[in-house]
Amino acid sequence: MQLSLPVSLPDDETFDSFLDVGNEFATAYLREFCHLGLANKKPLCYLFGSVGEGKSHLLFACCHNANINKLQTVYLNMVELKGMPPEVLASIADYDLICIDNLHEIASNPIWERTIFDLINQVLERPHQPKIIISAASSPLAVGFQLPDLVSRLTWGAIFQLANRTDEQLCQIIQFRLEHRGLEASDECIKFLLTRVDRELRNLMSIVNDLDKKSLQAKRKLTIPFIKQALSL
Which pLDDT tens digit goes with each residue over 7-48?
Answer: 567 777 888 888 888 899 999 999 988 876 555 568 999 999
Q: Do residues 124 and 172 share a domain?
A: no
Q: Do residues 146 and 179 share a domain?
A: no
pLDDT at 16: 85
pLDDT at 55: 93
pLDDT at 39: 52
pLDDT at 232: 87
The CATH number given to whatever domain includes residue 197 is: 1.10.8.60
pLDDT at 2: 44
Domain holding 204, by residue range, is 167-231
Q: Alpha-carbon distance 29 to 185, whole Å?
A: 32
pLDDT at 198: 82
pLDDT at 158: 93
The CATH number given to whatever domain includes residue 134 is: 3.40.50.300
pLDDT at 131: 93
Please list the ranges in the chain whose pLDDT falls under 50: 1-6
In the chain, how many domains are there? 2
pLDDT at 1: 40
